[in-house]
Structure 1
């Protein structure tokens, strides 16, 4: 009899049901997740954060970067100063497996021949190159040649290419070409790739300005790369009828500077001659258009060759704007202007020269024994520190500080160069205030001084130094032009004329002038020399020794109506085999002669010089005859018959043919100034005390006070000027 079949245990059946349910749930969950995943991918178009459409587009799209060109920098005459170029790094493939499709070798085969040829172009011997071409590692694919194989120019690359050396290749990278070498190098600056290692990975890296104009205007000079996209198949071949998408590159703006290439090259040669012969620790020179503030030439030593970068490690600073120093006696041009303008200058009053004590400190003249009791009219030509101290005391500290602020001392000029410092001055004690008047205890930059000097040369009108003339967008043609910028009127036109006349004495008065070494035959010059002590970097006063000074000179020409200002400073010549004046004049005289020879002065006057006769206290008839004999044009101001005052002053050297203004006794009468230069009218203002307002530039064509009208020191006259 068959045993009866037993039914499953209820507990076992329940477990099986649970397992089944769980298994079904897992299956449903799995398929649910799969469906959700597909749904998510379909809706979002992403997987693991990767945009599938973008990835597909990139997979089947070939994109090429269209490189933008960095803007070109030009000199004022159109010469290229800096432009884009390419340099190349040479490398050699040594892996014997590197062959073409038809099995032609693409690696270096004849190492001896290759080494011999490359040694003619690289700064390596054939033996050194052959060693490089034979690396110890058998797995090496390619080798490079260190610094000798970098920064190869296009001409050298082409020469090597002509040799048809198998396995020799070049990698291009953007570079900046400076065709003039040493040429206002710290002002122009340099543009470099940020990181050579990054550049090796990214061939589209752009140049960045790291100094000078290149740095200050980096945003304007740097272009924006474009791109071009084409559709390809899986093998990278362009699809027929595919759309090419192009976004053009935007080249950087081009810039034109105020620098004149001829004058700059001349200055560089003159500066280098002094550097080589006398070995100064520092040497600066700036030539500026007095009317517009345009920097025509500027340089410094130490410097570097921007084409090769040789010398760059000596000094990175643009010392014309980044170094503040005590200017010394050239500062007397500013302090004398303040004294005259504030009404505290009496040229005939006298003082005891030699030494003066303030706050327990003694200020001495450079001639320790002094010159006895002398008039204040000799402060400038003799460069008397003591006289300047007395004049500062006559002004008072508050007045002197007001003029320091008017001349923007302790303030940046705002010139478009990076790293400009503001300088500073000490003014807490009486001795500090006096020291600033003769250029000690005050720190300035060369550009600050140029700005201040412009007020003297420009009839009281102070203009900002400028290095950029215009910026032009090569795509739109939009041009930004930098116009002359008047930044203040610290003194009157009459004061400026007075100071210029005193500066004439510095260079022309052979008995007392400290600047006779700067005389130029036939040129009307205004000059001031300076010798500044250098603070001891270790503290405790100033350095001692014959060469431990900053020697300087500022000149303005023609002094009758200055068009140019030239300022030179030289710090601590290590081989001082000649007087400082002789050294500086070897730069000053040829450069000033050259710029004047361009014939760009507004007056167009002859450069022949004559001596102004002394006609004061002479009859008007005698005065007119004497001036005619001297080749000068007399202008009588007054109804009298005797000359009581004259400009220019007696015995000064002046340009032949210029006007000499003679004030007579009796009522002062307004002359007709039609055809007069601005400088001639300023002489009239100085000798009569009238106030003159100018409109326009050039020569007088109209005046508000009619000729022969009576004028007084309170009279105001407006004069309209127009170019001839």
Structure 2
């Protein structure tokens, strides 16, 4: 004790002692912490949130993803609509240090030659390509060629690769093939790569069936695990562990390719002649609800993406609109079914006042006093208001609900809107009787029409027939006919069918133009006003949604055909005449093929399969085009074809123009007589900036025929209607 007192009396020794004690305690505490930390890491195998065991595995294991094959989309007969494919992006190495394995130059050695060759296959001029090959930064390793260098077909890739240009390389990317071109495109949908720069990327649906059934189509990826050393070299004698991928299932649609292709022909013809802002054509099997054809305009080419920016949605389910007078099918049905229909009752046609609002017939002068039996046939709005008033607004609303107006159909497509009913004011209630103040989608209307076709039973529209396991071939899901309600009695349905027939056969009927000789067609026409953004409705003879709904045959329908057309910009014929150019030939085709989808005329023969003309002599290519019944247009002075539009494998209508780019100087062709679509092909294949003025066919061009256009500025094309 005295020693400690002496020790602490010595200040220096006391300080040394305290410091020693502190160091000893700190060391012991640190050692304890270290032991605890070490024990924790040993037991949990984690450090700082990182799984050490997994990290070690990653270092000495190579895991390779094995992509599952995406399932195919097929039509009702098993014909391909969409399947797996491959596209290529081109790039050029410009770093002079880059060498191949055997020491040769792996960069662009001759920019002039490279640009000259690539300009034959890419929609870029030699000057534009040379600009890409000469980046501002001297340190840049490689360059790409913008949109023109992406999404190249295997044919174009092979042609460029065969030239063996130093420094030119390709990235292979997964893609999707749509061999029919424009074919129910917005309904079928498209895909995109999850990672556009990863050649091993999966692709996912972003529209239509591709999106709705993405999980079913995608399948499950597999993987391969290989033991490697620290330099990522495979260890000799190591065993590879493999987890097999599970391919996506195949989805069979109810679409009938023969009917669908014909609908596309009719739609394209109307689009080119009358330029409607929107056009829809639907064919539904009246007995089963199967959608056998469905197309819209505007649409796009799923292979090239042309037109996509103007049609990025499926208007069949994603757009809602006021249906107009086709709604009178439901109004008449409700009136008859509720026991409030008196066909012999007279009413004053022309106009009627409801809730402080004047409602008029399309013929505002009217037809005097006429019986209610003529209201449907003449498409009298005033007559329909009379029926709504006789029923009462509550009864009419109950029937609209029975017909599922304002409710989604649940069809297997993404983004379906439910629609709406404006029913607050007396005038709105009256207007719903003739299809205003109510918003629907086309599938809803088809579903409602099916009740008239099926003895009062309402059938849900179906777009998918079955789903089949690609590995086993077994059907994993089958879609059956689904009755979703019975809004009216069978006897009511029969009376409405007869009324639809009279629209065609009566001299005062609004559907006389839809009379197809030898076919008992029943229809209802429609002309719906379009709401103005500033309130009220738009004015003008073309500012309507024109429509026709038909049953074939009227007394025992096999098919329901529904065509809508919005605001034709070139209304050189009456709306009824324009719609009849779709409806009448389509009805003839449906009848000629009978009830069975297999006992049919070969509608596909209406299309021409585009062959590959690449590397063919210009003269032999022109002869081939002529023999196919197509028109041609040649760009350039060369004797060999290096690019073509449309691409091989696509289907086009007889009389369409194929545009060829040759290996000579890019010279301006004589565009006189070319359609606007032909001019767009010219712009696409040359990569030139083209401005069109007017509509119809080319009568003037700012660059003379034969003039070299590689370095020309903007090209102005003037068109006029014939």
Residues 120-159 of structure 1 show CA distances to partners (whole Å, capped at 9, x for unaligned) of 2112223332332233433222221121211112222222
Measured at CA, do residues 17 and 502 of structure 1 come closer, stay the same or move farther in structure 2, by a change above 3 Å?
closer
2:696 corresponding residue in structure 1: none
Measured at CA, do residues 503 and 106 of structure 1 come closer, stay the same or move farther in structure 2, by a change above 3 Å?
same
Structural mapping, 1:470-619, within 5 Å: 470-476=466-472, 477-509=474-506, 511-539=507-535, 541-600=536-595
Residue 332 of structure 1 and its aligned partner are, at CA, apart by: 1.2
| 2:311 maps to 1:315 | yes
Task: Report the Cα distance in structure 2 between the residues aligned to 1:16 and 1:497, rounded to whole angstroms.
Answer: 113
2:205 corresponding residue in structure 1: 209
Q: 1:329 aligns with which of 299, 312, 325?
A: 325
Check conservation: 2:407, 2:418, Cα contact below 8 A. yes
Measured at CA, do residues 131 and 386 of structure 1 come closer, stay the same or move farther in structure 2, by a change above 3 Å?
closer
| 2:120 maps to 1:120 | yes
| 2:301 maps to 1:301 | no
Residue 101 of structure 1 and its aligned partner are, at CA, apart by: 4.6
Unaligned runs of 5+ in 1: 1-8, 605-724
1:618 corresponding residue in structure 2: none
Measured at CA, do residues 116 and 27 of structure 1 come closer, stay the same or move farther in structure 2, by a change above 3 Å?
same
Residues 352-386 of structure 1 show CA distances to partners (whole Å, capped at 9, x for unaligned) of 32232222333222222222222222122211222
Task: Report the Cα distance in structure 2 between the residues aligned to 1:361 and 1:22, rounded to whole angstroms.
Answer: 97
Structural mapping, 1:228-243, within 5 Å: 228-243=224-239
Residue 19 of structure 1 and its aligned partner are, at CA, apart by: 6.1
Task: Report the Cα distance in structure 1 between the residues aligned to 2:355 and 2:51, rounded to whole angstroms.
Answer: 80
- Which structure is larger by alpha-carbon Rg, 1 or 2? 1
Residues 176-209 of structure 1 show CA distances to partners (whole Å, capped at 9, x for unaligned) of 2222222212211222235xxx543x54433222
Measured at CA, do residues 135 and 483 of structure 1 come closer, stay the same or move farther in structure 2, by a change above 3 Å?
same
Q: 1:390 aligns with which of 371, 386, 391?
A: 386
Structural mapping, 1:246-395, within 5 Å: 246-395=242-391
Check conservation: 1:464, 1:487, Cα contact below 8 A. yes
Task: Report the Cα distance in structure 1 between the residues aligned to 2:187 and 2:161, rounded to whole angstroms.
Answer: 37
1:688 corresponding residue in structure 2: none
1:221 corresponding residue in structure 2: 217
Residue 113 of structure 1 and its aligned partner are, at CA, apart by: 2.6
Q: TM-score, normalised by structure 2?
A: 0.77
Structural mapping, 1:461-476, within 5 Å: 461-476=457-472
SS in 2 for 1:436: helix
Check conservation: 1:563, 1:601, Cα contact below 8 A. no
Measured at CA, do residues 22 and 380 of structure 1 come closer, stay the same or move farther in structure 2, by a change above 3 Å?
closer
Measured at CA, do residues 109 and 396 of structure 1 come closer, stay the same or move farther in structure 2, by a change above 3 Å?
same
Measured at CA, do residues 50 and 408 of structure 1 come closer, stay the same or move farther in structure 2, by a change above 3 Å?
closer
Task: Report the Cα distance in structure 2 between the residues aligned to 1:304 and 1:352, rounded to whole angstroms.
Answer: 48
Aligned residues: 591
Instruction: Say which is worse superposed, 252-261 or 132-141, in terms of deviation.
Output: 132-141
Task: Report the Cα distance in structure 2 between the residues aligned to 1:20 and 1:516, rounded to whole angstroms.
Answer: 113
Check conservation: 1:180, 1:307, Cα contact below 8 A. no
Task: Report the Cα distance in structure 2 between the residues aligned to 1:569 and 1:594, rounded to whole angstroms.
Answer: 19
Measured at CA, do residues 559 and 34 of structure 1 come closer, stay the same or move farther in structure 2, by a change above 3 Å?
closer
Check conservation: 1:332, 1:437, Cα contact below 8 A. yes
2:397 corresponding residue in structure 1: 401
2:143 corresponding residue in structure 1: 143
Q: Which has the higher contact order (CA 8 A, sep 6+)?
A: 2
SS in 2 for 1:120: helix
RMSD: 2.6
Task: Report the Cα distance in structure 1 between the residues aligned to 2:545 and 2:22, rounded to whole angstroms.
Answer: 96
Check conservation: 2:353, 2:359, Cα contact below 8 A. yes
Structural mapping, 1:31-42, within 5 Å: 42=42
Task: Report the Cα distance in structure 2 between the residues aligned to 1:16 and 1:389, rounded to whole angstroms.
Answer: 108
